Structure 1
Amino acid sequence: MTYNLTPRAPRDDEAPQIINICAQSGLFTSEELAGFSEQIAADAAAGTLGEQWRVAGRTGIEAAAFFGPEQIADGVWNLWFIAVLPDRRGSAIGTQLIADVEREAAKQGARLLIVETSGDANFAATRRFYRARGYEEEAKIRDWYGDGSDKIIFRKRT
């Protein structure tokens, strides 16, 4: 099923739903989830959750993305992650959400969008997702996450 939805900036009161998506996605370690929870809570408390987060869903929030500018590079933005509820994968919700992130970043001056992900076998679908959406593998840093666990860096012009 393809969703017909409009990705949007989240409301500050939707922070718990975003944390839930991160947890259910199965993509993150407990340390990463703790960091995201702190970031989401801080952004919500400051009233800025909608500045670097985007959400999408047909019934509630079913996918979330976190992105923002690289502080030391001109026009380079990072897509730190995109997470989709497991039972919504394959529905095109992630495709619509990443396209929205790309538009938002470009509107705010991004010329490049960078994505960093794992080279581990359990992230093969993640890497295929980015490649299918026009992201090019720019670099691989061997053993980044641990011995035998590489970091793969993708890039796309906005």
Structure 2
Amino acid sequence: MTFDSLFPRGDKNDAFAQYFIGQSYLAPLASLGMSVANVTFEPGCRNNWHRHNATAGGGQILLATAGSGWYQAEGEEPVSLTPGTVVEIPAGTKHWHGAKADSWFSHVAIAVPGEDTSNEWLEPVADEYYDALDPQRGSESAG
């Protein structure tokens, strides 16, 4: 399948496969004091619920670049992600993100520098919950 994205798709994201449902790809873009990577999700692929923890600073920024996806913070409505959507995720926020069921999706993930940063991977997003998401549901931007 051809999928047009601004950045390379990268290699299969095998190092983090245990934290994803479906196939994702990872293309590191920069590492000068922080991680910046293009993450591509096949249709239906999403990561587990997780947190980006830090004692100061930290968090994550997502820049949607291609396709259509979802972002959801715990206790909030899912947000529809399309090219140009920017999501700011404060440190400690439990969330997940990934492709919609019928679309490839890419975003640039930027790890915000902070003190004592770590990722905390949690439970998968249940198939029953994910499958019930309406492709038209969700606001058009976040953060």
TM-score above 0.5, yes or no: no
Between the two structures, name the one with larger relative contact order (CA 8 Å, sep ≥ 6): 2
TM-score calculated relative to the size of structure 1: 0.33
Question: More strand per residue: 1 or 2?
Answer: 2
Question: More helix per residue: 1 or 2?
Answer: 1
Of the two, which has the highest radius of gyration? 1
